[in-house]
Structure 1
Amino acid sequence: MRAVLRNYRQSPRKVRLVADLVRGKRVDRAILTLDYLTKRAAEPVRSLIEAAVANAKHNFKTSPDRLFVKDIRVDEGVTLKRHMPRARGVPHLIRKRASHITVFLGEKTSQASADARTIKT
């Protein structure tokens, strides 16, 4: 269960700060955390998690209560290169970075079934 956002126009370094806060959390807790976060990347990450939950409900008939953010990856997207004139008209390179954000959701299993799988006689 995953959702992908490509070419989000913010640098991956800044988006990773937000991604690190929600990795491993339950979906409802992650969305609540992102609602009160004052970073610009919080809104698209929250929207992406909600899209992944909708994918899980529609495609796998999974209850949202059992979902957690298994992994969230922020990779580098395209880099737009611009020039800024500096001293004596020498062009200075400006890199406008973008991010690819991928959210993977996992499903928590009940503790009883997990114990039953580990104990084999």
Structure 2
Amino acid sequence: MANLLRQEYLGGIRQRNWLKTMKKAQVYATHKYARLAPNKVRVVIDLVRGQPVSEALRILKFDKTKAADLLTKVLKSAVANASNNHNLKTENMFVDEVYANGGPMHKRIRIVAKSRTSPILKRTSHIVVGISERGGK
């Protein structure tokens, strides 16, 4: 029983910390279950973190990776959310927070030598982009 209560207590802490981090940036857009490994997305994410939105879109336009295409869509969605729902100006927006977490893995097997199997993990990722205004907020 004590172990169960402890798990619930820890879960509450995790949830509260998660809510604190989500309130940092103004507007968010997410892409869940993207069929690309998180470590491949994080390479592109490091290029656009902290950049103005126009500069981030320019950087992503000339990157030929699948991660750049996915990140472009999420970034455009976040900009649309900010301008339509929160009346933020596009000129003042910058990429405040962007990260890619691992999602569920599709597990497959591959037959190798001596009739043995080795696992194939097809990884997915959850991409989150947070947009803020540079001037006031």
Aligned pairs (5 A) from 1:7-86 = 7-86=33-112
| Alpha-carbon distance between aligned partners in 2 of 1:29 and 1:45, rounded to the nearest angstrom | 14
Identify, as 1 or 2, the structure richer in strand: 1
Deviations 1:67-114 (A, max 9, x none): 00001010001101100000111110010000000000110116xxx9
| Alpha-carbon distance between aligned partners in 2 of 1:22 and 1:38, rounded to the nearest angstrom | 15
| Alpha-carbon distance between aligned partners in 2 of 1:104 and 1:89, rounded to the nearest angstrom | 48
Structure 2 equivalent of residue 118 of structure 1: none
Amino acid corresponding to residue 101 of structure 1 in structure 2: I
| Alpha-carbon distance between aligned partners in 2 of 1:8 and 1:40, rounded to the nearest angstrom | 10
Q: Report the aligned-residue RMSD.
A: 1.2
How many angstroms does 1:31 deviate by?
0.2
Deviations 1:35-93 (A, max 9, x none): 00122210110111000000001111111111000010100011011000001111100
Identity of aligned residues (%): 33
TM-score by length of 2: 0.79
Secondary structure of the 1:55 match is helix
* Poorly superposed stretches of 4+, deviation over 2 Å: none
Identify, as 1 or 2, the structure richer in helix: 2
Deviations 1:2-55 (A, max 9, x none): 100000001000000011100000000000000001222101101110000000
| Alpha-carbon distance between aligned partners in 1 of 2:103 and 2:69, rounded to the nearest angstrom | 18
For structure 1, which runs of at least 5 residues remain unmatched after alignment?
115-121
1:2 equivalenced with 2:14 (yes/no): no
| Alpha-carbon distance between aligned partners in 1 of 2:132 and 2:82, rounded to the nearest angstrom | 9
For structure 2, which runs of at least 5 residues remain unmatched after alignment?
1-26
